[in-house]
Amino acid sequence: MFVTITKPLFAWDCLEDNPSLVSVRAFLAAVPDAQLLEGLRLHRGRGRDDYPVSVLWGVLLLTILLRHVSIAACLEELQRHDALCRLIGIDSLDQIPKAWNMSRFLDVLGQEPHLSNLRATFDAMVERLGTVIPDLGQHTAGDSAALNARRSRQQANDAKTPTASPATTADKIEYDQHGLPQPAGGRKEYHDDQGTVTKVVEWFGYKFHLLVDIRHEVVLAYRVTSTKTGDNEVISDLLDQGQANLPAERIETLAYDKAADDEKVHEDLHERGIKPVIQNRALWKGESERLLPDHDGTSNIVYDEAGTVYCYDKVSDPPVRHRMAYIGHEPERGTIKYRCPAKHEGWACPMSEICNAGKSYGKTVRIKQELDLRRFPPIPRGTK
């Protein structure tokens, strides 16, 4: 038996541990950063230009490309690598910026219009890939993670002298003078199937949200938010950016954990024509199943909280529940189609004569998605 393994577009085990100068030069030339650099030069004006913005930007790119754990580590490598220095316009050691120069540069880079120009650079690169890779972005997934930061001196002093009770400030997002969210404390709890907390992660900083292609492992869109921002609040923005970067109607599915199991998210995906593959949140208390809408007490068709549809064999004693056979999504009708499992799978059911009434295909149930988009997505949760 041969198992074919398709590597992602940028497989980590295929990347050079120590990229050659040719690879570095090709990467630097491929980044469409002209508008970003021009904006940074205009911002600097006629002030001192000891360290040109192109050099500072080059140091930041090299930090990422060479997989350094910090900018300081990249600056140290530049001190001993003359050829690498020349690639970003550094001709002598005294032209290598200091750590505080990079810190100030990052502060400017995080302000408008440079922040928007930075995102435009990213968008242009994704758009290029989407043009040449036919299935890039076809099947996507999203999630968020912690982004650590350090308190400024002012924030540390403010934390020592609180002016309001935690109850009034817990969910309030603070912004700086540039309209960007301030770093704040974050907390995430992990629960088991019984709802017991098994793990707690706490951090100070931000959250970053990603929309990625699940086959090629390429980021299609991103957002950085306050730790107090829910994942479901950002999905619409991620999809706006991702769809703008890709050809029309390229995104077909979106996978996410239960943080995205929200009515507004499902409505948004429905309007965009994107099929959700989202983990179900358990909200029913003391209920395991319900009758389908427009079905009375004589019906034998029910569904559970995840939207899985079942039929009951009421002839047997006690009654036996069977999962109905999923036939498919009917986009023209806006329905999910199910059939009698006994007829579909070829086994005998004591209630077949009552349910199927001589129909060769057996009993058929069509469920309108508009009844509950969260419960009845185009790809039912109970299917492979």
> pLDDT-derived band of residue 13, with 50, 70 and 90 as boundaries?
confident
Q: Is residue 66 part of a domain?
A: yes
Please identify, among 278, 303, 338, the residue that sits at the C-terminal boundary of a domain.
278
Do 271 and 297 lie in one domain? The reply is no
pLDDT score, position 167: 40
Do 254 and 324 lie in one domain? The reply is no
DSSP 15: S
Do 141 and 223 lie in one domain? The reply is yes
State the total domains in the chain.
3
Do 274 and 295 lie in one domain? The reply is no
Q: Is residue 165 part of a domain?
A: no
Any residues with CB less than 8 A from the CB of 382 and at least 6 apart, and which?
A: 306, 307, 308, 323, 326
Domain that holds residue 337: 290-371
Alpha carbon distance, N-terminus to C-terminus of the chain: 23
Do 308 and 254 lie in one domain? The reply is no
**For 20-29, 66-75, 122-131, 285-294, which range has the lowest pLDDT when averaged over its residues?**
285-294
Over residues 263-319, the pLDDT tens digits come to 999 999 999 999 999 999 888 888 889 888 777 767 889 999 999 999 999 999 899
Please identify, among 231, 246, 278, the residue that sits at the C-terminal boundary of a domain.
278
Q: Is residue 272 part of a domain?
A: yes
Burial of 18 (0-12, 13-18, 19+ CB in 10 A): exposed
